[in-house]
Structure 1
Amino acid sequence: MSGYQPVPLPTGAGATSRTDLVAGLTGWARSRPLRDLVAAFGAELPDDRLPPDGLLGWLDDFSARHWDFRSRHGAVERDEVGETVLDPAVAELVRSAAEALGLAGPRPVPGRRYDHLLVLGGLARSCLQRTAYAARLLDTGFVEAGEVAALGSFRPLRPVELDRLQLPADRPGTRLDGGYEVDAMDLGVRAAFGCPTSVEQRRSAGEIDHHSWSVAVYRPAPVRTGAGPASRSVARPVVRVLAAPSTEPKTRRAHTSDTYHFWAGELRPAAGDRVLVLTSQLYVPFQHVDALRTLSLGYGCEVDTVGLDPDSLPGYGPAESSGPDRYLQEIRSAIRSIRNLLRVLG
């Protein structure tokens, strides 16, 4: 390995000034791992005289030419992109840089007490894994949260996703009730938290389209922790499953930022609320930056973002593959998210 030091992203804490936020974001973009990746693909990162918006514009253009493997295959999901084989030395550099930049892990949860735990949707199997990991964090007492929300959308599930769905054998009778990402999130919540029936359901009227939304609320029963006389009953937080509408319904379906917006509109988090976002480690940087733009700037929340540890979830199937090309693709996603946030900061 290269010996790179971790390159953290800012958390959007209340005391973080705009200057510090910009410095943290550009520090990630100018870091040694990213410089070395750019050099490995035949270029040199612009010097420090280029302002942050110019730097991120340059990186956006560069990564579009060299690291956007997804667009080369047309409008496809991430798991539909065929592997791009890189030179072994470059591939090893990518893996080292990705770990330093926060795309490989897993990393420890920075805190213990949060007001909100947000579980992000994704491919169907990831929905089950992430909700299971959220329940594990809470039930073991590793994390405390006032409320939990599983955020998804009405993205149709593809046959290959359904084929890969896998629940542990000790979850009998739990089944998928629908063919959308939000249904996989709902299945994951019911299986992981042991709550078969919601106490509230609301949804938009009419046929499913990019305007559609839904909200389901679950109240999981307490869980017992420990063994023998030392065992105790631990209350579990309310869990909501939300499908967000697109903020641009004429042109696209809902994406990660839309799910943040919809959740915040429903819950109205207070300034200073601590939010833990749970996703897969590969997507932590870009989804964290999107949370900073949406939840920190919009509502004053302090945000931490972590990836699940798939090795702690026996019975849920393997984690998503993370080859060097996938790391480069999601480094590009982070670059674009940072660029969007800097535009908002002005």
Structure 2
Amino acid sequence: MLGGLVRACLVRPAYAAKLIRSGTVWAPEVTALGGYRLFGGDEPDLARRAGVPDADEEYEALDAGTRRAFGLGDPIAEQGEKSDLHGGTWSIRTYDGLRGLKVNVAAAPSSAPADRRADTADTYAWFARHLANLEKGQSLLAVTAAIYVPAQQAAALRMLALQFGVEVETVGVVPGEVLPALAQSFGLSQYLATPSSIPSHAIILARLRLYNAPAGDRPQSQRVGGSGGGDTRRAHSWHRRP
């Protein structure tokens, strides 16, 4: 489950929990993956309307949304590292869910902490090397908003599938279909402004093609490192039920 603005932090965990409770998918472990970012614009008002008035930044909203969606209590473990740069801080909270489900809520550090929060590529790379023990052939399901599926699937292929040999599928949710109070409509300007726009697709696909090229054909700065990494935590797998 990928974080983002406050809608994402609440809606995406709710949708992931719905998929698991309904038996549509099965997973031994799930992770809500975001970053540290203070709220802006109308996010504080949206958080109050959605029932999380104490949240004032992304990670806390993502944690609140995940605990609510999966019916979680207090974390059984918590770790992290604080940085003077907001984008350099990282955290992991681990929970015991129902029927043995392990739930992590994580904030990844940014590769440019002085400039921005962690982007999708940052969070995927950090997830693979510091949270999951990925093995070739395992399956991952990413949950995002429908408008972002193409861009985030491409990032998952580049950062996870090509580097670690896992299978990745990205599904999208429409916010109002899960939490009506957070309904949101997208017009042409929003589509053109997102990474899902046609110009952005061209850039994303060019990067994906570059990463998939033989090593000798890539510029030195773009060559992909070896696979593997991570600690002894169980890998995140999911299976779609017939």
Answer yes or no: same fold by TM over 0.5.
Answer: yes
Question: Which structure would you say has the larger Rg?
Answer: 1
* 1:150–1:240 Cα contact (<8 Å) kept: yes
Q: How many residues align?
A: 208
Map 1:1-346 → 2, pairs under 5 A: 119-165=1-47, 166-167=49-50, 175=52, 178-220=55-97, 222=98, 235=99, 237-265=101-129, 266-318=131-183, 320-329=184-193, 330-331=196-197, 332-346=199-213
* 1:286–1:338 Cα contact (<8 Å) kept: no
Deviation digits for residues 189-230 of structure 1 (CA, Å, limit 9, x no counterpart): 11111113111111103445222100011112x3xxxxxxxx
TM-score by length of 2: 0.79
Which AA in structure 2 matches 1:343? Answer: L
| CA gap 1:321/1:260 in 2 versus in 1, 3 angstroms | same
Quote how far apart the aligned CAs of 1:155 are. 1.4
| CA gap 1:176/1:334 in 2 versus in 1, 3 angstroms | farther
* 1:135–1:192 Cα contact (<8 Å) kept: yes
* 1:281–1:307 Cα contact (<8 Å) kept: yes
Quote how far apart the aligned CAs of 1:178 are. 4.5
Match of 1:69 in 2: none
Distance in 2 (CA, whole Å) between partners of 1:132 and 1:344 is 33
SS at match of 1:305: strand
Deviation digits for residues 123-154 of structure 1 (CA, Å, limit 9, x no counterpart): 10221011101111111111111210001001
Percentage identity across aligned positions? 37
Which AA in structure 2 matches 1:255? Answer: D
Quote how far apart the aligned CAs of 1:236 are. 5.2
* 1:176–1:184 Cα contact (<8 Å) kept: no
Which AA in structure 1 matches 2:119? Answer: H
Distance in 2 (CA, whole Å) between partners of 1:204 and 1:342 is 35
Runs of 5+ consecutive residues of structure 2 not aligned to the other structure: 214-242
TM-score by length of 1: 0.56
Q: Report the RMSD for the aligned CA atoms in angstroms.
A: 1.9
Distance in 1 (CA, whole Å) between partners of 2:104 and 2:20 is 15
* 2:2–2:8 Cα contact (<8 Å) kept: no
Which AA in structure 2 matches 1:254? Answer: A
* 1:177–1:187 Cα contact (<8 Å) kept: no
Deviation digits for residues 22-66 of structure 1 (CA, Å, limit 9, x no counterpart): xxxxxxxxxxxxxxxxxxxxxxxxxxxxxxxxxxxxxxxxxxxxx
